Amino acid sequence: ALAQVELDDETWEAGITYSQPDAYYCENINFEPASAINMLYGTFVLWMGWYAFNCGSTGGSTHGLEVESAHVAITTTLAAGAALNIGLIWSGIRRNGLFDITDASAACLGGLVAITPGCAVVEQSVSIIIGVIGAIAVLLALELLEKLQIDDPCGASAVHGGGGIVGILCVGFFHSGTKHSKIKCLDDPNDSWTYAPVCSPDCSGGDFDPRGLFYGGGAELLWVQFYGLGAILAWSAVLTIVTVAVIDKALGLRMTVREELDGPDISEHGYSCMAAYDVLTYPAPPAPHSTNPRTAPTHPQLA
């Protein structure tokens, strides 16, 4: 059962300690978003910003690049829209007809992430499929994080991890080899743009075909995407572990339990952005017997 109490400094200091300070008992708790409106607003801000770096990655909007830039804008839009609808359908099925903005927003961002690697090299109709795949990958990743009890309030690892992985691999399946997939040969004395599949990866004029598996190009490009994905995962893992270890030693990563319960707005900024939430709600802890100095006292009613 949940216990709901107001904690002030006196009752906090007079309280007792948790038996397991680093573990919260969060079963059967539905963590609602602080503001569904802000969540949806933030999603659309990101969606609009996606055009800047997807279309902007073409390198220009003149001298023929405007066609490619427009193509990228269309694939980006179709993938995001398809993913958003998948999020609504997903939540409607799993929540007895209720449409959850959280699922819809996460799915939409997953579609945007998934289409980014191949936005210039896949057909517009295929971008819808990639958006659907990206949305499903993100929604499943969110479910996995919840089952593993991994704290990811914004779903960032699910969105960028799940959507990014399937997006990279989708290039190996759906690269169309059309005029939108231009490759610039750095060794070309004329410094000109050529169209796939003329250039090989090393610009040696070999027979490398950049088309995806579903477009007759074989598995060669798919293996390249697998190798690239492995390199990205390895680099990210090593760099993250080193960075987190340094920060933990220098500054510390974990807040105190009191700060976590109050919310970091108080400890980091001096005020709460959720002023109406002045009552803390959390499960009753187990029997107190810990002497760990990092434990936080709790109101006697929770004992």
- Backbone φ and ψ for 78, nearest 5 degrees, come out as -65, -40
- Backbone φ and ψ for 228, nearest 5 degrees, come out as -60, -40
Residue 274 pLDDT:
62
Beta bridge partners of 2: 283
Local structure of 298: helix, strand or coil: strand
Write out residues in the chain with pLDDT < 70, as ranges: 1-33, 64, 178-209, 273-303
Q: How far is Cα 29 from Cα 18, in angstroms, rounded to an integer? A: 19
Spatial contact of 291 and 18, defined as CB atoms under 8 Å apart: no
Residue 265 pLDDT:
79
Residue 167 pLDDT:
95
Q: How far is Cα 272 from Cα 262, in angstroms, rounded to an integer? A: 9
Spatial contact of 194 and 205, defined as CB atoms under 8 Å apart: no
Residue 273 pLDDT:
67
